[in-house]
Amino acid sequence: MADELLVVEGLKKHFPVTRGIIFQRQIDAVRAVDGVSFTLNEGETLGVVGESGCGKSTMARCLLKLIEPTEGKIVFRGRDISKLSRREMRPLRREMMMVFQDPYASLNVRKRVGFIVAEALEVHGIATPAERKRRVQSLLEVVGLNPEHYNRFPHEFSGGQRQRIGIARALAINPTLIVCDEPVSALDVSVQAQILNLLKDLQREFGLTYIFIAHDLNVVRHISDRVMVMYLGKPVELASRTELYTAPKHPYTGALLAAVPIPDPALGRLRQRVVLEGDVPNPINPPAACNFHPRCPRFHEGHCDVDTPELRNVAGHAHTAACHYPLEKWPMTPEEIRYDRSRTAAVGS
Amino acid sequence: MTALLDVRDLRTQFQTEDGFVKAVDGVDFTVESGKTIGIVGESGCGKSVTCLTIMGLNESRNTTSSGQVLFNGEDILGASGSRLRSLRGKEIAMIFQDPMTSLNPVHTVGRQLVETVLLHNDISKTEARGRAREALKEVGIPRAEQRVDDYPHQFSGGMRQRAMIAMAMINDPKLLIADEPTTALDVTTQAQILSLMQKLQEDHGTAIVMITHDLGVVAETAHEVVVMYAAKVVERGTVDAIFTAPQHPYTWGLLGSLPRLDAEIDRLAQIPGQPPSLLNPPRGCRFHPRCAYVMDVCKEKVPELMGVSHDADHEQACFLDEETKTREAARLFAATMAAGTSG
Amino acid sequence: MVQYLVRRLLWAGVLFLAVTIVTYVIFFLVPANPARLAAGQAATPERVALVEERLGLNDPIYEQYWGFLKRLVFDGSLGESFVDRSSVNDEIFRAAPITASLVFGAMILVLVISVPIGILSALRPRSVLDRVAMTYVLLGISLPSFWVALVLSYIFGFRLGWTPIAGYCEVVSVPQAANCGGFGDWAYHMVLPWLALAIVQAGIYVRFVRAEVMDTMTQDYVRTARAKGAPERKVMKDHILRNALLPVITILGMDIGLLLGGAIFIETVFGLNGLGGTAIRSIGQFDLPVLQGVVIFGAVAIILFTLIVDLLYAWVDPRIRLT
């Protein structure tokens, strides 16, 4: 059994909403991350998927302690890092790195590529300048760039190439864990394929562990071993890749999968269209109990809006979902959709 | 049946400090009433500029366009400013990618809708407001009577795009051009918007030109597909033809590089390199530097769009012989589509 | 909204105290004896000591400050001049309208000059007009206002005799002894001062308007308006200008507040005895109460106009108003 690299328990991040003339007092909170728990094994890729406002990016930053969590435990290699100060975190930062979404914004336009990639090495005082240069050049080669472009500036590269620089930067200090926050969302489809292949190759070669955050379900399926679906700050389903995509249990996962357009016109015509009504609710005032109940096609009044469903085992091995009435069949049949939402008046406000 | 829109040999070039950029270099396609045509391609291929040229919305100063844009038989490419203005927003409407920046933040949504109505209809303001409320209802915005006086920032992303669609459809145009309308939206919101657009097409008989880089969206919404690469059309045909029997290496690359929701693929087929600069495009076939099937002729001559032997409506621009193409297409189909049906 | 207002007003009060304290401190750090100046050149040391006592200059600073505050809050009085014991209130109320005429008139002229030029420049970047406008901007920012004032005064006042060289005329309530008065005379005397102030200020605004219009023109909603078939004039009026001029108006408001504190150079050159002139005089005479009066007026003007501008912005931009 693989080692547990990261164990997260009850992670919460609430941003305070204040009011007051002279003294600001907190009246409410934006519950960006509202109780996330999972285990990450060494060498695996955990895909985190969800729509805007689900908290996946905030969670990623909490894991790396770029944002201080409000509550919860983060255990990295057996050590609780949730309460560590910035100084105590410094040596640990060598083990965890991040690749960001926007290849145009995440590289300092005034610095040369060599500097950007080597910065982490310099900060942690690793290797002599000559050794650092050699390492950077070998890294550039590993990610598919020309090592002679060491002295170029970011604007001289295309979007895909800049993302490769970002990956080289993350690899520089040999981290164990790399959190990828939507690394291919800003790239064209053909370039996206290059970067995804690269990430997979690097994982095999260097034994990396990934947390891969994306909103594109296709991409997440391709690269993940396990997938966690988030909604309004909470995980609603966590399962192995195959199980999640072939037999999802949570109605939200089902709606997501049904909404993704498939590049196959024949299949598309056969598919059951389950269009989810309404918008994602406000994270300041989430719906009572199950956050998803106002939009859920399987809503049972009196239960789903009263008892908060916990993440529990619903099928197979290690397939958990937070739902009182998980899906039994997939694709969802009309019988599965117990409560016809279109009958209710004000869906979505 | 004459096509509603017939674009012939459209070319647009911009004069920049570095030289002439041929953003659109010989594009042809037709759009039938009540049908959707998807224009697919990656960034920089010229799909947006093509549609801005059709609408006459390019900056006139540094831009030159040639060719023909026949709308209901009338060539509107060189039309006068006033003729174009009378068409825009009334016969031909356009919606854009980002609804937050595409709506004026200091005017209410209602006012912007009313403005569209009054620009093309000689009716009273009260009547225009009534139409605005109806339009918002039709696109599924709840409590339309109150929402009509709200500002754009008070709507969520999906609702804003619905409001934009309402604004585009309010004068019942014959043609709607949608430039990446769902790219900035979440996947469930995207499904809602695409569903809405399909319904509006059924109810009003509007033809839609859907510009997107998402092949999934094209597969689910378009009847015909135009694939663009580096300012040119490389393949054109019905959606079934393009997805089941694609005939151009670029299309193969695009389809093969898609991670699939419904299939397990170990390594994605990747197209090496990047799209070319339009300042100095490659000689001959523009795709040849990245093509795995490149031959000598590809480096010298520009391939013309030609019909496939068994399907004249399916056109492609590649020098490869048909036998190889059919074989490759079948291989691709077997790898991706077949895996899909079993999933 | 109300919360915001209350918070701003409280903060304004704090600022007011801070400004007045600083003025007091600076005044007392300067090594000079106002009593001496007040008493006169020929005064004996005993006489100077007497004056010191009378003016309360022997009291500790904080007592003098406290006295000043009490007087202001309870009597509404800014005190009496050290020099001639006249009421500071009177002096301020006499000088303020002069400065106000200068500033408001000049600012209107600034808008009239800069907005059209800025818009035209933005519509035709790098054209001849644009280059001329940018040269003007450079000159406007670089030339000192008093130099421009002197040159204008020399050419139009002295050489050509088209305008008076100096002096101010009342518009309303013309005093008996004045040799000019009424609207015509007032405007006639103000033309050159307005021009002098406006020419220099307009440079900054031309650049600002140009930048805002150019930026707004590239916005997506302008493209949407054109896509709806709106004629260019409507696009300009309803979409471009409405958004581009918003920041310009707010900067203008703040500038008015600043200048009301005294456009010293212009007032001196043209012999306008407004707050600027008063300030210079009171500094030379170490007349603390009068100086303090001018400072307070200036501070209040700035605070007030900044507040007005913020409220205006909030009222006009729904994104701020409704969140």
CATH fold of B227-342, please? Answer: Rossmann fold (3.40.50)
Q: What is the DSSP letter of A275?
A: P
Predicted confidence at residue A85, as pLDDT, reads 87
Q: What percent of chain A has pLDDT over 70?
A: 93
> Measured between beta carbons, which residues in chain A are less than 8 angstroms from residue B43?
188
Angle between helical axes of C128-142 and C182-217 (0-180°, round to 10): 120
Residue pair A40/A5 in contact by the 8 Å Cβ criterion: yes
Please state the rounded mean pLDDT for residues B252-268.
80
User: A215 contacts in B (CB within 8 Å)?
Assistant: 186-187
Best probe of the A interface among B197, B258, B267, by most A CBs < 10 A, is B258
Identify the architecture of domain B5-222 in CATH. 3-Layer(aba) Sandwich (3.40)
Q: Judge whether A178 and A98 are in contact, CB under 8 Å.
A: yes
Name the least confident of A127-136, B46-55, C170-179.
C170-179
Domain C94-316 CATH (choose: 1.10.3720.10, 3.90.870.10, 3.40.50.720, 3.30.360.10)? 1.10.3720.10
The distance of A95 to chain C (nearest Cα, Å) reads 42
**pLDDT over 90 at C91, yes or no:** no
d(CA B87, CA C228): 9
CA distance between the termini of chain C: 9
Start-end ranges of CATH 1.10.3720.10 in chain C?
94-316
Segment A219-229 shows an average pLDDT of: 92
- Tell which wins on pLDDT, A25 or A68: A68
Query: SS3 for B233?
Result: strand
Residue of C nearest to B89 (CA): C228
Structural domains counted in chain A: 1
Which residues of chain B does CATH 3.40.50.300 include? 5-222, 227-342
Share of chain C above pLDDT 70, in %: 92
Average pLDDT over chain C, rounded to an integer: 83
Q: pLDDT of B131-177, one tens digit each?
A: 999 999 999 998 899 999 999 999 988 899 999 999 999 999 999 99
pLDDT at B337: 55
By percentage, how much of chain B surpasses pLDDT 90? Answer: 53
Residue A304 is assigned to a structural domain of this protein:
yes
pLDDT exceeds 90 at position B126: yes
Running DSSP on this structure, what letter comes out for residue C180? Answer: -
Calpha distance A217→A226 (Å, rounded)? 13
Contact criterion met (CB < 8 Å) for B57 and C227: yes
**Predicted local distance difference test score (pLDDT) of residue C189:** 82
Q: Is the pLDDT of residue C143 over 80?
A: yes
Structure tokens at A79: 């050590």
- Region C147-167: mean pLDDT is 83
Cβ-proximal residues to C46 (8 Å cutoff; 6+ apart), any chain: none
Residue A270 lies in a domain: yes
| Spatial distance between the Cα atoms of C91 and C77, rounded to a whole number of angstroms | 12
Q: What is the pLDDT of residue C322?
A: 63
d(CA C153, CA B7): 66
Enter the ipTM.
Answer: 0.86
What local confidence, expressed as pLDDT, does residue C176 receive? Answer: 64
Subunit partners of chain A (3 or more CB pairs within 8 A): B, C
pLDDT at residue B119, rounded to an integer: 93
The span from the CA of B107 to the CA of B255, in Å, is 42
Q: Which residue in the set B90, B96, B108 is minimally distant from C224, CB to CB?
A: B96
Is residue A341 in some structural domain? yes
State pLDDT tens for residues A1-35: 457 899 999 999 999 887 776 777 778 888 899 99
Smallest Cβ distance to A51: which of B188, B216, B268?
B188
Of the pLDDT bands very low, low, confident and very high (cuts 50, 70, 90), residue C300 is confident
Instruction: Return the H-helix or E-strand segment holding B315.
Output: strand B311-316
Higher-confidence position of A69 and C32: A69
What distance in Å separates residue B157's CA from the closest CA in chain A? 9
Report the sign of the C-alpha dihedral through residues B87, B92, B98, B100, in that order.
positive
- Report strand pairing: B74-75 vs B63-71: antiparallel
Which residues of chain A make contact with B188, given a CB cutoff of 8 A?
Answer: 51, 255-256, 259, 275-276
Residue B124's DSSP bridge partners are none
- Asked if B106 lies within 8 A of C227 by C-beta distance, the reply is no
Residue-wise pLDDT for C176-233, tens only, equals 666 677 777 788 888 888 988 898 889 889 999 999 999 999 899 999 999 999 998 9
Predicted confidence band at C38 (pLDDT cuts at 50, 70, 90)? low
Number of B/C CB contacts below 8 angstroms equals 77
* Paired residues of A319 in beta bridges: A315
CB contacts under 8 A, A 249-268 vs B, are 255-268
Question: In this structure, what DSSP letter does residue A42 have?
Answer: T
Would the pLDDT of A114 be above 80? Answer: yes
Does the pTM exceed 0.80? yes
Q: Amino acid letter at C277? A: G
Q: Return the closest-CA partner of residue C285 out of C47, C27, C71.
A: C27
Residue A216 has pLDDT above 50, yes or no: yes
Q: Does any domain span residue A31? A: no
User: Which structural domain, as residue segments, surrounds residue A314?
Assistant: 240-349
Taking only the tens place, the pLDDT of each residue in B22-69 is 999 999 999 999 999 999 998 888 999 999 999 999 887 888 999 999
Chain C contact for B213 (CB, 8 A cutoff): no
C73-87, C98-112, C200-214: which has the minimum mean pLDDT? C73-87
User: Strands B5-16 and A319-321: what pairing?
Assistant: unpaired
Nearest to C242 among B106, B115, B119 (CB): B106
What does the pLDDT read at residue C53? 77
pLDDT at B261 over 90: no
- For B95, phi then psi, to 5°, come to -120, 150
| Residue in chain A nearest B268 by alpha carbon | A193
pLDDT tens per residue, range B91-116: 999 999 888 899 999 999 999 999 99
Residue A175 in domain: no
CB contact under 8 A, B259 and A196: yes
By C-alpha distance, which of B123, B140, B130, B135 is closest to B169?
Answer: B135
Residue A97 lies in a domain: no
Nearest to A6 by CA among A175, A231, A229: A175
Residue A325 placed within a domain? yes
**Pairing state between β B5-16 and B19-31:** antiparallel
pLDDT higher than 60, residue B315: yes
The number of residues making up chain A comes to 349
- Chains in contact with B, where contact requires at least 3 CB pairs less than 8 Å apart: A, C
